[in-house]
Structure 1
């Protein structure tokens, strides 16, 4: 995979390039010092498979550059963002960035955990050039379609839980825009996102949704609104309240979808519906298994509308999904369930 690295800091460009060049099958084909320089390279040179784009730059910033790249090319973009740019980063995700990487606090002493997260995000972003030749995709086409668990949607629904990762912010905004102002059940969301960024994302969702959206806090009494789990915390439900904790990461992430799904299953049992959206990895499958065991209903996003078909695919192959739907169909179904 060829990557174009765009950052106004020469030091940052070198660090990112060195890290990427250590990855197997990854090559930094070019670097750019600002958005204008990046667009010039894209117009003149062989197109990369992915653009790694800094949020804040002189001459032409990350948002304006992203808009131009999405207008002119079908190339995935991953943003490089500092916590101080969290609102702009959320905007970038709504404009079509596939994901973002939070810049390390101390770039002279980068932690192994940051590097692993960085590598995971880069290698899991689907690219146009890689799609036709991926062996796993050829195998998938010959696989027998997985058998979905036959079960009717509960006649009485008490709560809805949603899990998402890569590609999730844009999908969640699309779903939240369709929500009515008055919800008849609470909605709980875990989106894999670092601390601080979830505050901005909850605010963005609240601004664009008719329904009230809150970043969850420990001890909150559950009301009929939308709750987004804060970054760096797991969210569980207990006795009508939200309980946050910082227990060990699950699947390398905190928050983890499984924590929410499993506790919600215990609380709402057969009156619970779970939705698993786009994202890399396998978070959510075990939680869906528990929801199924206790009589709840589970929905997974389909491959065609997922940015990364990792989490939904794992759940489907694990036999814990009742229904596979496109993002638009999920939005319509959620609206129907909560109004």
Structure 2
């Protein structure tokens, strides 16, 4: 039995949530909170297996409730939120504070047809994730010490034309930490695939949120843009589009899913391996599944400096674990230490 605490102030939305969960005998609603204060109290008293969290609550907000719960009684949290811009930024802040994933509330259109089974699947997935700490401790600069390199350390490349990053569950916090810790004068373009299992409205707001969190120039990638023009920028794969590099130019496609993902980290990593070889770095961060592991291995085989996030700092040690098992990661470190190693590589602007 998976014990669920529902946090939602709208009676109508609470009814939708109860109705959806009642169809699965293994999902049991053990409590309903209508404010942030009640959410904190019930999380402590009931010790649920998973929490659905609304962001816009009376009194203490859903974001503040998430921060309290993750600091005092860490519990897997699925944010169930609307696509209102103010609420979207609170949602991403909650993900950075320790919430595991996000799901959009019903929109009242044809997209609602499979909303209930999607909610049940999301809760099952989130409930399995072990959460043990408050990620804001890391975001505030108190990074954990990483493990030893996956293999004897090789001399890093003396040039760095591009950095490729992949992340999934827990990625917003890990990406924020990595980008914040890069020095202000780090000018190498950063190409990033972040899996976001939400609507396009949710995903599009992510670039603005990440820019605000890190102080870096973050935007979604455009097709046909030469990488050499992207100095100092962080480029994200757009929603439902693969991002890759061909002839040192950004390309987007709606090609087949890889590992049930589009965008896919492997698609990006494989293209960077082929185009840049030893003048690239690859970073595979927290996430469920194995997307990115084989691509990171290809990057390492081509001479790139490769990193996997360490288990202690991951929300989900899935994708990085697969990379470590393959021998794809030269270094296994928390995001802040990955950033420090990247800063040691002399950045150059590709002229090709």
Give the TM bin, normalised by the shorter chain.
0.7 to 0.9
Contact 1:153 1:297 in 2 (8 A): yes
Q: Are 1:86 and 2:91 an aligned pair?
A: no
Unaligned runs of 5+ in 1: 129-144
Contact 1:162 1:188 in 2 (8 A): yes
Q: Are 1:166 and 2:169 an aligned pair?
A: yes
SS in 1 for 2:175: helix
Paired position in structure 1 for 2:17: 16
Q: CA deviation at 1:33?
A: 3.0
CA RMSD of aligned residues (A): 2.9
Higher RCO (Cα < 8 Å, 6 or more apart) = 2
Alignment of 1:77-116 (within 5 A): 77-84=77-84, 85-106=87-108, 109-110=113-114, 114-115=118-119
Question: Using the alignment, how far apart are the partners of 1:24 and 1:331 within structure 2?
Answer: 45
The Cα offsets for residues 216-235 of structure 1, whole Å up to 9 and x where unpaired, read as 12222322122122222111
Q: Are 1:155 and 2:158 an aligned pair?
A: yes
Paired position in structure 1 for 2:141: none
Contact 1:183 1:211 in 2 (8 A): no
Paired position in structure 1 for 2:194: 191
Q: Are 1:312 and 2:317 an aligned pair?
A: no
Structure-2 change in CA distance of 1:13 and 1:266 (3 Å): same
The Cα offsets for residues 129-157 of structure 1, whole Å up to 9 and x where unpaired, read as xxxxxxxxxxxxxxxx9964864422222
Structure-2 change in CA distance of 1:312 and 1:206 (3 Å): same
Q: Are 1:65 and 2:65 an aligned pair?
A: yes
Q: CA deviation at 1:14?
A: 4.2
Paired position in structure 2 for 1:279: 287
Structure-2 change in CA distance of 1:27 and 1:154 (3 Å): farther
Contact 1:82 1:103 in 2 (8 A): yes
Contact 2:149 2:330 in 1 (8 A): no
Q: What TM-score do you get using the length of structure 2 for normalisation?
A: 0.80
Unaligned runs of 5+ in 2: 133-147, 348-352
Structure-2 change in CA distance of 1:323 and 1:24 (3 Å): farther
Paired position in structure 2 for 1:248: 256
Contact 1:124 1:280 in 2 (8 A): no
The Cα offsets for residues 315-338 of structure 1, whole Å up to 9 and x where unpaired, read as 111222222112331121123336
Question: Using the alignment, how far apart are the partners of 2:163 and 2:149 within structure 1?
Answer: 24
Contact 1:198 1:229 in 2 (8 A): no
Question: Using the alignment, how far apart are the partners of 2:226 and 2:159 within structure 1?
Answer: 21
Q: CA deviation at 1:181?
A: 3.1
Q: CA deviation at 1:268?
A: 0.4
Q: How many residues are treated as equivalent by the alignment?
A: 322
Paired position in structure 2 for 1:301: 309
